[in-house]
Amino acid sequence: MMPSSAMNRREFLKRLGVLGGGVIIGFNTLDRLAWARRHRTGFLGGGIPTDFNAFLRIGTDNRVVLYTGKIEMGQGAMTSIPQLLAEELHVNYDAVDIVMGDTDLCPWDAGTFGSLSIRHFGIFLREAAAEARGVLMELAADHLKSPIGRLVAQDGYVNDTSKPGRRVSYGELTRGNIIEKHLNDVPPLKASSKLETMGKSFPRRDALEKVTGAAKFSGDIRLPGMLYAKILRPPAHGAKFIKADIAPAKNIDGIQVVEEGDFVAVLHKYPDVAEQGLAQIKSRFDRPKTGVDDKTIFDHLLKSAPDPEVASQGGSLKTGEKLASTVIEETYFNSYVAHAPIEPHTAAAEFDGKKLTVWASTQTPFSVKDLIAEQLNLSADNVRVIVPYVGGAFGGKSASGQALEAARLAKRIGKPVQVAWSRAEEFFYDTFRPAAIVKIKSGLNSAGRITFWDYNVYFAGMRGSKQFYEIPHHKEKVYGRWRGSARRHHPFAVGPWRAPANNTNVYARDLHLNLMAAKAGADPLQFRLEHLKDKRMINVLKAAARKFGWQPIKTPSGRGYGIACGIDAGTYVAFMAEVEVDRSSGNVNVKRVVCAQDMGVVVNPDGAATQMEGCITMGLGYVFTEEIHFKDGEIFDLNFDTYTLPKFSWLPKIETVILENPELAPQGGGEPAIIGMGGVIATAIYDAVGAAVFQLPMTPARVKSAMKQA
């Protein structure tokens, strides 16, 4: 399956070649299936290019430019990816420049999501860099007339170890030629004990630009003669356009209106004036009456649930139920959650009569390029997508409809156009984290062991649903995912939200486990450890407990201790928290959160810690406030007044621990540390006041209502 935007190799090399000087070395990637087998993963969906995956240009000045389709959205990839390259190419980290997310310059890439940049793409990149170094060594052997066995590559030079001072730089070896050469024997990757560049906390490369205002986001692109477009939107999802009277808008000086059926756009050289123009347009829509709102949604979803897929299973639930002396059955809910990046979807587009160039805040520049080419009848060669800095995305900037809107308008009017969604549009068109339901029925025997675990998750998805506890009889079933055909049952678009499905799965699993631990009279940490054999999980739990100073409790203990753990993107993560609950208001104050994770080799420790802190802080939002209210397709939360994001005053004391695991290749870092936030706070609230809150977010009203029922 080759996407149309993956131009052929020869063409690509030609294009890069004319960029002037230097050399590009292209690499074959390993066969995808072989790779998947080797890494024992069934997941081939994202991040693995099918043809070539990395391009280097080594300038005669010995600087190395890395071209990658990955984008920088705050996660720090522009800093960590060059570390991987420098390590295996044997060049100085500071000699590496990186060009990201430009579809004309960078090789095809599926997109920046799923914590794949390091753990999947990174492996290819390191292998490609090792192969490039091997090629350079061969060239050096010819150049220096030395046997290759005597040569050592270091800091961008190949040295003859037997003749001090005899050396040649990579730049001299390549001298502006295009070299495509493949080795039969690719040099092995460096052993973890020999890593020099990986494992160091290099400061972020985007820091200076971001503190001085020099950093350009899509909305900061200024093109000569550019107009800003505001587009007529329906009042509700599913509303049918009837008519619009555009005449009043035309009275405003300098306004241009584009009307193509239900697509009505008002353009002006100032965005605020375009908005005033749009406000003048009187429109009529036929609004749907679906009866589905944020309260009835759960019944609606349960009724329309598709047949389940089995995530994991073992033994027989029937047998397990017979062995149980206590059975616990509960249902857990979570609401729709918005991505709400502070930068709304934005794009600027320019059409020169032949070629469209689009600057867009997107996680998937190559899919956006394909979409635009297809929708606007252009060849893929005539669409270029460039991704400037992205102001947060969290899974929400994959669909990127704003880029198509800007492209469509620029092509139509022949002038550059910017489309920047307002905050209301951003909420309205978000691909929300789906509302979801989890039903768990489980049993304990008289010895306090779990005999069976019947797990059913509706609409959240597969990730994080697999069983990792030692339970003799269990079955984990997934009824509809956040992607695929189940999406049609939601009243609006849903999509991936940072660690999709896992937040829901961990919340339900860990709260349920603590309800079981309570019945068993067991300490929640000990209860988990007794049902675990997986060393990595045991290690992160123990590391979290040490940092937290966990004291065995019988929950609810009144101390307000919470615990959660899970696996995400190959990383194991454990959480502990301490809360105080105000019994009269239902307000919860999170005093501390400890998070310990095992992510294999750590590429940039400070960057990894930053991601963990970000996950924990962001996670407090879906724990306490974040929830989309709606009815009949109308979204009621359209700004941050009613949709509250975590604030400075919510900050708990956050402590992060990253375990050493040098034997394991780097795993995901951008998402794992958010997955346990629902679980750790729900179990902490239960421990504080003995009330299980069965729905996220755990608003004061829900906490109070849970206390009444407790």
Partner 1 sequence: MIESIRFKLNGRPVNLKVDGERTLLWVLRSDLGVTGPKYGCGEGICGACTVLADNVAVLACQKTIKEVDGSEITTIEGLAQNGKLHPLQKAFVENAGFQCGYCTPGMILKAYSLLAENPTPSRDEIIAGMDDNLCRCGAHTRIVAAIETASREMKGGMK
Q: Site residues (CB under 8 A) for partner 1?
A: 73-76, 203-204, 206-217, 219-220, 222, 228, 269-273, 340-344, 389-392, 394, 420, 422-423, 606-607, 610, 613-618, 639-641, 645-649, 651, 654
The residue (of 212 and 584) whose beta carbon lies closer to partner 1 is 212
Phi/psi zone of residue 199: left (φ > 0), alpha (ψ -120 to 50 degrees), beta? left
* Residue 420: both structure tokens together: 């920047």
- DSSP code for 185: S
**In a 3-state reduction of DSSP, which class is residue 431?**
coil
The residue (of 175 and 591) whose beta carbon lies closer to partner 1 is 591
Q: How far is the CB of 255 from partner 1 (least distance, A)?
A: 14
Pairing of strands 346-351, 417-420: antiparallel
The residue (of 49 and 219) whose beta carbon lies closer to partner 1 is 219
The residue (of 344 and 434) whose beta carbon lies closer to partner 1 is 344
Distance, in Å, from the CA atom of 524 to the CA atom of 682, rounded to the nearest integer, reads 13
The residue (of 311 and 348) whose beta carbon lies closer to partner 1 is 348
Q: Residues near 693 by Cβ (< 8 Å), separated by ≥ 6? A: 511, 682, 685, 686, 702, 703, 706
The residue (of 341 and 524) whose beta carbon lies closer to partner 1 is 341
Q: Residues near 154 by Cβ (< 8 Å), separated by ≥ 6? A: 90
Nearest-CA neighbor of 90 among 162, 20, 164, 194?
A: 194
The residue (of 214 and 279) whose beta carbon lies closer to partner 1 is 214
Q: What is the DSSP string of 381-410?
A: GGEEEE--B-S--TT-SSS-HHHHHHHHHH
Q: How far is the CB of 687 from partner 1 (least distance, A)?
A: 25
Q: How far is the CB of 253 from partner 1 (least distance, A)?
A: 10
Which position has the token pair 């893929």? 380
Q: How far is the CB of 36 from partner 1 (least distance, A)?
A: 31
Q: How far is the CB of 59 from partner 1 (least distance, A)?
A: 27
Peptide bond into 697 cis (omega under 30): yes
What is the signed CA dihedral for 463, 464, 465, 470, rounded to 10 degrees? 150
Q: How far is the CB of 627 from partner 1 (least distance, A)?
A: 16
* 8 A C-beta contact, residue 567 and residue 600: no
Q: How far is the CB of 367 from partner 1 (least distance, A)?
A: 21
Considering only CA atoms, give the Rg of the chain: 27
The residue (of 137 and 420) whose beta carbon lies closer to partner 1 is 420
Q: At what angle do helices 700-709 and 677-689 cross, to 10 degrees?
A: 50
Q: How far is the CB of 339 from partner 1 (least distance, A)?
A: 8
Distance, in Å, from the CA atom of 569 to the CA atom of 531, rounded to the nearest integer, reads 22
The residue (of 209 and 259) whose beta carbon lies closer to partner 1 is 209
User: What values do phi and psi take at 43, rounded to 5?
Assistant: -90, 110
Distance, in Å, from the CA atom of 77 to the CA atom of 673, rounded to the nearest integer, reads 17
The residue (of 301 and 419) whose beta carbon lies closer to partner 1 is 419
* Residue 490: both structure tokens together: 């939601």
The residue (of 209 and 245) whose beta carbon lies closer to partner 1 is 209
Peptide bond into 107 cis (omega under 30): no
Q: How far is the CB of 63 from partner 1 (least distance, A)?
A: 23
Q: Residues near 409 by Cβ (< 8 Å), separated by ≥ 6? A: 229, 258, 265, 267, 349, 417, 419
The residue (of 14 and 216) whose beta carbon lies closer to partner 1 is 216
Q: How far is the CB of 426 from partner 1 (least distance, A)?
A: 9
User: How far, in whole angstroms, is CA 209 from its chain's centroid?
Assistant: 23
Q: Identify the bridge partners of residue 159 per DSSP, sorted by sequence position.
A: 152, 167
Q: How far is the CB of 562 from partner 1 (least distance, A)?
A: 19
User: How far, in whole angstroms, is CA 475 from its chain's centroid?
Assistant: 28
Q: How far is the CB of 275 from partner 1 (least distance, A)?
A: 9
